[in-house]
Amino acid sequence: MTLPATMRAVEITEYGKPEVLKLCERPVPQPKAGEVLVRVSAAGINRPDVLQRRGHYPVPPGGSDIPGLEVAGEVVAVGSGVSLWTAGQKLCALLQGGGYAEYCTVPAPQCLPIPKGLSAVEAASLPETFFTVWSNVFDRARLAPGESLLVQGGSSGIGVAAIQMAKAFGHKVLATAGSPQKCSACEELGADRAINYKTEDFVTIVKEATGGRGVDVIIDMVAGEYVERELKCLADDGRLVIIALLGGTRGTLSLNEILTRRLSLTGSTLRPRPVSFKGAIARSLREKVWPHLESGAIKPVIYRIFPLAEARRAHELMESSTHIGKIVLTID
Ligand SMILES: NC(=O)c1ccc[n+]([C@@H]2O[C@H](COP(=O)([O-])OP(=O)(O)OC[C@H]3O[C@@H](n4cnc5c(N)ncnc54)[C@H](OP(=O)(O)O)[C@@H]3O)[C@@H](O)[C@H]2O)c1
């Protein structure tokens, strides 16, 4: 197949507001050893893209400066040493960057087949949030059979994945969100109780909903002053995993809670982790989660689709926080 020399992409022309996102012409990247070249059909938008655009989320060494952490599309070429993927196959993939473009390269271990029955748009909405939730809730925080989960930010891209994955594995799930409409969406996705954190105290509701015991695991994107309250709603031996700091980098906490009730406080960011780490998550997702997507037990939640040229509007929507689930760009 003859590939064009150049492609359309969206670049961050300078750090700032959504209008710094501009359409540009870039060389089509070449796959290195172990990489796949993908013709992109759709690219998911994630909050880390917004942080990158504002200058608060540096590109790891070797990563593309073009934003975009997840895509779905078709393999058009492979680098040396790639045997599992060949030209013509459809896939979705977790990237280190470069998704807002007609073509991107990705390490082969970070690619997954499009779950049967899903569209490219739906498949593009999966990798960043599903890798993050699997890594933090199931690997890092070791959510075990019979245990319960609290999802802070239940209507976010991360939240809709976390609620559905935990429900698919039979866990009790509580979730917070900032409006009645968002709370209803969380419950429709399976949350046993959604908590409107603007009108209800999540510590009180979590205690009530768990018979005073508390939840075993919390996935948290707020942190800051939330942490002290979150420790109070963990069960003994509970684990709090922080994946973002929307509420700030500083808070107070009672070390006594940790000491006397054997609590664990941890966190992680996915993007800088090595290919081998991400490849291991991809294998777990394919084996344990992809069947639930193919059966329809877990459904992608697509809130709005924009063409690539309107990436600016997609970021404006994400920053308005009026969305529920995922925002996706399409590339024709
Ligand atoms: N560590 C990692 O590897 C990793 C990977 C991917 C994403 N992330 C982080 O995860 C977060 C979610 O990403 P996303 O792409 O899913 O973004 P998103 O869809 O824009 O979601 C952000 C959410 O934060 C919620 N929120 C803000 N303040 C809140 C509060 N006080 N209590 C409860 N919810 C609150 C908002 O809901 P309301 O409007 O209801 O407040 C909104 O749903 C981002 O901060 C992102 O940087 C981390």
**What is the C-alpha to C-alpha distance for residues 210 and 164, in angstroms, rounded to an integer?**
19
The residue whose CA is least distant from atom 30 of ligand 1 is 222
Comparison of pLDDT for 254 and 107, the residue scoring more? 107
Q: What is the CATH number of the domain that holds 117?
A: 3.90.180.10
The verdict on the CB of residue 132 being under 6 Å from ligand 1 is: yes
**35-54: average pLDDT:** 98
Rg of the chain in Å (alpha carbons): 20
The verdict on the CB of residue 99 being under 6 Å from ligand 1 is: no
DSSP result, 99-148: -SBSEEEEEGGGEEEPPTT--HHHHHTSHHHHHHHIIIIIIIS---TT-E
| Whether residue 151 is found in the same domain as residue 219 | yes
**Looking at the predicted structure, is the pLDDT value of residue 28 above 80?**
yes
**144-150: average pLDDT:** 98
User: Ligand 1 pocket: which of 57, 156, 218 to mutate (most atoms <8 Å of CB)?
Assistant: 156
**63-75: average pLDDT:** 97
The verdict on the CB of residue 46 being under 6 Å from ligand 1 is: yes
Which helix (H) or strand (E) segment is 244 a member of? none
**Residue 154 CA, closest ligand 1 atom number:** 43
| Whether residue 26 is found in the same domain as residue 93 | yes
C-alpha of residue 28 to centroid of ligand 1, in Å: 32
**Looking at the predicted structure, is the pLDDT value of residue 114 above 90?**
yes
**Residue 155 CA, closest ligand 1 atom number:** 43
**What is the C-alpha to C-alpha distance for residues 104 and 59, in angstroms, rounded to an integer?**
15
C-alpha of residue 221 to centroid of ligand 1, in Å: 5
What is the pLDDT, as a whole number, of residue 22? 98
| Whether residue 21 is found in the same domain as residue 66 | yes
The pTM of this model reads 0.97
| Whether residue 13 is found in the same domain as residue 35 | yes
Is 1 within a domain? no
| Whether residue 240 is found in the same domain as residue 211 | yes
What does the pLDDT look like over 182-231, one tens digit per residue? 999 999 999 999 999 999 999 999 999 999 999 999 999 999 999 999 99
**Residue 157 CA, closest ligand 1 atom number:** 16
C-alpha of residue 6 to centroid of ligand 1, in Å: 34
**93-99: average pLDDT:** 97
Domain boundary among the residues 243, 267, 291 is at 267
| Whether residue 154 is found in the same domain as residue 87 | no
Question: How many separate domains does the chain show?
Answer: 2
Question: Beta 111-113 vs 148-151: how paired, if at all?
Answer: unpaired
Range of the domain at 144: 130-267
C-alpha of residue 7 to centroid of ligand 1, in Å: 31
Residue 332: pLDDT band with limits 50, 70, 90: confident
| Whether residue 186 is found in the same domain as residue 112 | no
